[in-house]
Structure 1
């Protein structure tokens, strides 16, 4: 009996250490938000299940349009033994619909705080789309990229390319995923799209 109790007392702290407590992340700090500022999606966020949105932004399902006003509910980074994962929970202000982004730094290659500064903005839809033609704006809202569009317009429509396939947005080729085994290559010449290629 005493031996079992000793084993239990040894295991208990280990379990507590392994489970740990998730670290709270403050988006207002990451975004350097002025007091009272509103927050918006910085690009189209695609999803099939609102409670399980991969941060890599597979281009499949419905779209939360860029410039959508949101409110953060909670952002957490996993405990000590799972340091590369986290969750971003927010709701769309207009509908109160709740969404959760599952973050995995192994795929994204940047800390969750840096991802927040990419995916969200204090600029509204008018500011984000300033100078974009009406035709391209309609394409962006529908998640469509075509030849002749700029890098900025592609970012609004598709979001950031898959980081481990496109290390820098200064590269002339960006890789996006429709799903894990279905990729699209967007090719630029300087600032304009010159080709969109489906990869098998």
Structure 2
């Protein structure tokens, strides 16, 4: 008996729930979705709708360059478009977390909560708050998350950079005035 038919028989005997590779959880961060696709660029100019951080995620399957999940009853493919050097399991773990992150916000000022929920940045934010508000920077443009500058490029050519101080708080947003108006809390 060849290996492939034996493997197929073994997999057929495993219940479907046990074959599911993507863990259930919650969105770590606000996520922009166009139709059923969410790019890891998470570009605020891309249109579509925003799925709020803390949304319940039902894990479905891993694709070659995407993680298929269900959020609010709709199938969403989270595209690993610009972080391809990251293994899919690690990519998924960035965006899908085991615990709902929203209770963490209770101790923050109302302005900070409003900024994070609205996907906006403000000076003084901690790294975690930046991630929750605008998502992970792509690996292509910020290869080391320990660097004090995170670059967030977008498909249409604009870029903004989040600059952290020595305490990992946002000290500046390096961007055009138009882009600052889009990504910063007024």
1:93-131 CA distances to partner (integer Å, 9 max, x unpaired)? 3xx122112224x64421111001100011113344354
1:97 is aligned to 2:59: no
Summarize the Cα distance change of 1:177–1:118 in structure 2 as closer, same or farther, 3 Å threshold: same
Describe how 1:141-160 pairs up with structure 2 within 5 A. 141-160=117-136
CA distance in 1, matches of 2:102, 2:38: 26
User: Once superposed, which parts of structure 1, at least 4 consecutive aligned residues long, lie more than 6 Å away?
Assistant: none
Q: Of 53, 62, 69, which residue of structure 1 is paired with 2:38?
A: 53
Summarize the Cα distance change of 1:158–1:126 in structure 2 as closer, same or farther, 3 Å threshold: closer
Higher strand share: 1
SS at match of 2:68: strand
Gaps of 5+ in 1: 1-23, 29-37, 78-85
Gaps of 5+ in 2: 1-18, 180-186
Worse overlay, 185-194 or 55-64: 55-64
Find the structure with the greater CA-based Rg. 1
TM-score, normalised with respect to structure 1: 0.69
CA distance in 2, matches of 1:54, 1:126: 22
- Cα distance, 1:188 vs structure 2: 0.8
- Cα distance, 1:54 vs structure 2: 1.6
TM-score, normalised with respect to structure 2: 0.73
Q: How many matched pairs?
A: 156
